[in-house]
Structures are given as C-alpha cells and as structure tokens.
C-alpha cells in the first residue's frame, strides 16, 4: 500500500462540482492500494501517516507529526500510484487491487483515521475527483508499506 503525503496549507476535493472534503493546514495523502494489501497493511500505513514528522518544531526542524500539531488529514484514493511504468508508453495496473478490495481497504483506513484523529476528510473511491492543494514547502513523501514491514 502506498501513501503519497503532501504537507499542505489547504486542500480540497470536489466531485461533480460539489465539495466532498477539505482541510486547512495538514496532510493530503493519496492512497494507492495493491492487490496483495490487507487490513493489517492498511492499519500500518495509517500509523505511519499519523506519526510521520513533517511539521516544523520551534527550532524550524521537521520534527512534529500531523497528530502532534492537530492538523487536518485529507485521504484521497488514487489507484494510479500503483502503476507499473517500467516499460512502454502506457502504464500497467496489474498490481492494483480489484475495485472491491480497494474500496474495502480505503474504507478501513478512513474509519480507523476517524477513530483516532480529530480532523479527517476524504475523497470518494472510484469516481472522478478534482483535487486542489497548496503544497507547503513543497514537502512531499512517498510511504510504502508491505506485509514484510
């Protein structure tokens, strides 16, 4: 499972012109789900996201997590993160989870996030979304969790 974290000053998601999720300062996380992923892997990715230190402390060092600063978390499903781009001019999605598994695991991450973090918003699985963000830094990190982690 992949989480592409972007530290943002603000971010939002619209579906069919309607706002479905937004945050001010926080993390926008695009979530890519692979066919071998499980609920345990989803839980581990969420723990890494919530604990990843990307916000500045009093010394200006990236030493605080989204939990530490009480910032927002916007989770957006994005199956293209798991694309295999090693060959050719067209991505392969052979490693992507089925829509059913992807929907189930994204819902699992969202439920867990809302249970343990105060400000959580989300995109909608399986639909065309328009995502807007103001990246702060820019700061972007790729987190990948597998069964071996």
The model's pLDDT over 79-126, given as tens digits with 9 standing for 90+, comes to 999 999 999 999 999 999 999 999 999 999 999 999 999 999 999 999
C-alpha to C-alpha distance for 94 and 98, rounded to whole angstroms:
10
pLDDT per position as a tens digit, 28-65 = 999 999 999 999 999 999 999 999 999 999 999 999 99
Residue 85 annotated among the catalytic residues of the structure: no
State residue 148's pLDDT score: 76
Q: Exactly one of 30, 55, 79, 125 is catalytic; which is it?
A: 79
- The reported pLDDT for the residue numbered 149 is 73
- Catalytic residue from among 80, 85, 93, 130: 80
- pLDDT on residue 147: 82
Q: Which domains does the chain have, with CATH numbers?
A: 2-144 (3.50.80.10)
Q: Which of 25, 30, 78, 106 is catalytic?
A: 78
38 part of the active site = no
**Phi then psi dihedrals of residue 60, to 5 deg:** 85, 5
Q: Which residues contact 30 (CB under 8 A, 6 or more apart)?
A: 3, 4, 6, 76, 77, 78, 81
Q: Give the integer Cα–Cα distance in Å for 120 and 131.
A: 16
The answer on pLDDT for 19 being more than 90 is yes
Active site residue 140: no
The Cα–Cα gap between 52 and 107 comes to 21
């Amino acid at each position: 499972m992949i989480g592409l974290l972007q530290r943002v000053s603000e971010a939002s998601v619209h579906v069919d012109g309607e706002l479905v999720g937004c945050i001010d300062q926080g993390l926008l996380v695009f979530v890519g789900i692979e066919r071998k992923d499980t609920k345990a892997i989803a839980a581990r990715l969420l723990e890494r996201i919530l604990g990843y230190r990307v916000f500045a402390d009093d010394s200006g060092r990236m030493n605080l997590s989204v939990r530490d600063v009480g910032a927002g978390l916007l989770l957006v499903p994005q199956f293209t993160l798991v694309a295999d781009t090693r060959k050719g001019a067209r991505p392969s999605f052979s490693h992507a989870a089925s829509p059913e598994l992807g929907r189930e695991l994204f819902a699992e991450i969202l439920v867990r996030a809302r249970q343990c973090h105060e400000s959580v918003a989300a995109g909608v699985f399986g639909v065309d979304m328009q995502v807007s963000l103001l990246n702060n830094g820019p700061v972007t990190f790729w987190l990948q969790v597998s069964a071996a982690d």
